[in-house]
């Protein structure tokens, strides 16, 4: 049975990518990003229309991946080190390195649905630094969140000879669904 609705973002993980000379990637073990609040990724690309015979004779779409934001309770220190290039000194102090380049990673996440849960992976993400912000407490404590700007681009899968951006796995595929958070899924056949 297919979902009619989706809700409930959870199980957000990242896996650091190592990009090979041919443009494909291998991935480290996924690590959790707890405290997921929201994820909003907008498709990027353009529609090209060729007019002939007084109609849209040909319409083409470019897929330039996605751009958006991941809002979470706090950015984990592991993410700051692994992806954003922060360094940890001998006193356990995290230092932002102004010359560090961000590291590509896969973003794994899950949405609940009325019939099935679905797990997703964006294969080639880059992240911006979160803002530093906060407010004084008043009569009640209101938790602040942090937002990471994300760009998800395509990456080459040499096994299937395709540039890929994203994959989805419903909970009906039990074996694959259960393994989704332990390793980044790489298709081996079409």
Output the tens digit of pLDDT for each of the chain's 190 residues: 777 888 999 999 999 999 999 999 999 999 999 999 999 999 998 899 999 999 999 999 889 999 999 999 999 999 999 999 999 999 999 999 999 999 999 999 999 887 788 999 999 999 999 988 877 788 888 888 999 999 999 999 999 999 999 999 988 888 999 999 999 999 888 8
Query: Domain spans of the chain?
Result: 6-179
CA distance 94 to 59: 50
Of 181, 185, 184, the C-alpha closest to 11 is 181
pLDDT at 189: 82
CA dihedral sign, ordered 151, 66, 156, 105: positive
Residues 6+ apart with CB under 8 A from 107: 12, 13, 14, 70, 121, 122, 125, 150, 152
pLDDT at 18: 96
CA distance 177 to 20: 27
pTM of the model: 0.90
What are the percentages of helix, strand and coil residues in the chain, rounded to 5?
A: 5, 45, 45
CA distance 189 to 106: 20
For residue 110, give both structure tokens.
Answer: 């899950």
Which segments within 116-165 are labelled E, that is strand? 118-127, 146-153, 155-157, 162-164
Which segments within 53-173 are labelled E, that is strand? 55-61, 66-72, 87-88, 94-95, 105-113, 118-127, 146-153, 155-157, 162-164, 166-170
pLDDT at 22: 93
pLDDT at 79: 97
């Amino acid at each position: 049975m297919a979902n009619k609705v989706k809700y409930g973002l959870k199980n957000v993980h990242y896996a650091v990518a190592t990009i090979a000379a041919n443009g494909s990637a291998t991935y480290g073990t996924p690590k959790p990003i707890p405290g997921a609040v929201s994820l909003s990724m907008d498709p990027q690309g353009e529609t090209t229309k060729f007019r002939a015979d007084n109609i849209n004779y040909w319409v083409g779409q470019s897929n330039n991946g996605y751009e958006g934001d991941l809002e979470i309770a706090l950015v984990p220190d592991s993410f700051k080190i692994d992806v954003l290039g922060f360094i940890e000194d001998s006193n356990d102090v995290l230092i932002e390195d102004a010359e560090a380049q961000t590291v590509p990673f896969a973003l794994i996440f899950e949405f609940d649905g009325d019939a099935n849960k679905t797990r997703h992976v964006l294969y080639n993400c880059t992240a911006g630094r979160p803002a530093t912000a906060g407010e004084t407490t008043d009569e009640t404590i209101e938790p602040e969140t942090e937002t990471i700007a994300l760009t998800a681009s395509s990456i080459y899968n040499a096994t299937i000879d395709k540039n890929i951006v994203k994959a989805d796995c419903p909970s009906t595929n039990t074996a694959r669904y259960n393994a989704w958070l332990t390793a980044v899924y790489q298709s081996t056949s079409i």
